[in-house]
Amino acid sequence: MENRIDSSDALTARKYFSNIWSAIRTTAKGMAITIGYVIKEKEVTVQYPEEREILPSNTRARLYNDVENCTACSQCANICPVNCIYIASKRMPKDAPAKKADNGMPIRMELTQYTIDTALCCYCGLCTTVCPTECITHTKNFEYSKYQLNDMKYDFLSTEMRSLRTAVLAEREE
């Protein structure tokens, strides 16, 4: 290693000036690299609201539950480390027609509540792995900040959330 720093020696005038010189020299070298970056390197920053990065297919952002396929097995609520999934169901009425999920699983329970508190959610993705019908998935939507904490609770049985279904399914297909 060049110019080892020796604290034991006394500071001579020669050493004093050579110290200053080497400080200037090494800093100038660093500045040369910085200028090299300005000239040669292409931009790395993304002008966020105007430009967006393409997110990978397995991005873990806001959860979405497709209630049409949900069997109300509550495995997602059980595995959730932060208990942010609120799920309630009741028995199907006897005269109701037999329903089946897309992958052939019979739906025996009627879902009465399916709410996810996304303010609590830690985006670990464990709920998506245990789901037998793969109805709960992560979407790529990460921009949903709210002014009120309560607004972060999403009721997936509401018409508002149901209307997102086609868009989410299309995204899942990709």
Partner 1 sequence: MNYSVKSVEQDESIKSEKLIVNMGPQHPATHGVLRLEIETDSEIVTKAIPHIGYLHRCMEKHCESMDFRGVIPFVDRLDYLASMNMEHGYVLAVEQMLGLEIPRRAEYIRVMVAELQRIASHLVAFGTYGIDLGAFTPFLYAFQQRENILSIFESISGGRLLYNYIWIGGVWHDLKSSDLEMISNFVAEFEEQWQRYDTLLTQNKIFKERTAHVGIIPQALCHEYGATGPVLRGSGISHDLRKDKPYSIYSELEFNIPVGEGSVGSVGDCWDRYYVRMVEMRESIKIIKQCLDGIEDGEVMAKVSKVIKPPAGEIYVKTEAPKGEIGYHLISDGKKNPYRLKVKSPCFTHVSMVPELAPGMMIADLVALIGSLDIVLGEVDR
**Residue placing its CB nearer to partner 1 in the complex, 13 or 98:** 13
4 interacts with partner 1 by CB under 8 A: yes
98 interacts with partner 1 by CB under 8 A: no
138 interacts with partner 1 by CB under 8 A: yes
**Residue placing its CB nearer to partner 1 in the complex, 22 or 158:** 22
5 interacts with partner 1 by CB under 8 A: yes
Name residue 107's beta-bridge partners.
99
* Total residues interacting with partner 1, rule: CB under 8 A: 33
Please select the residue that binds partner 1; options are 16, 125, 146, 167, rule is CB under 8 A: 125
Annotate 44-80 with b (16+ C-beta within 10 A) or e (fewer): eeeeeeeeeeeeeeeebbbbbbbbebbbbbebbbeeb
How much is the CA Rg of the chain, to the nearest whole Å?
29
Give the count of beta carbons closer than 10 Å to the beta carbon of residue 87.
21
Question: What is the rounded CA–CA span in Å between residue 157 and residue 115?
Answer: 8
User: Contact positions toward partner 1, by CB under 8 A?
Assistant: 1-5, 7, 19, 22-23, 25-27, 29-30, 33-34, 37, 44, 55-56, 58-60, 79-81, 122-126, 129, 138
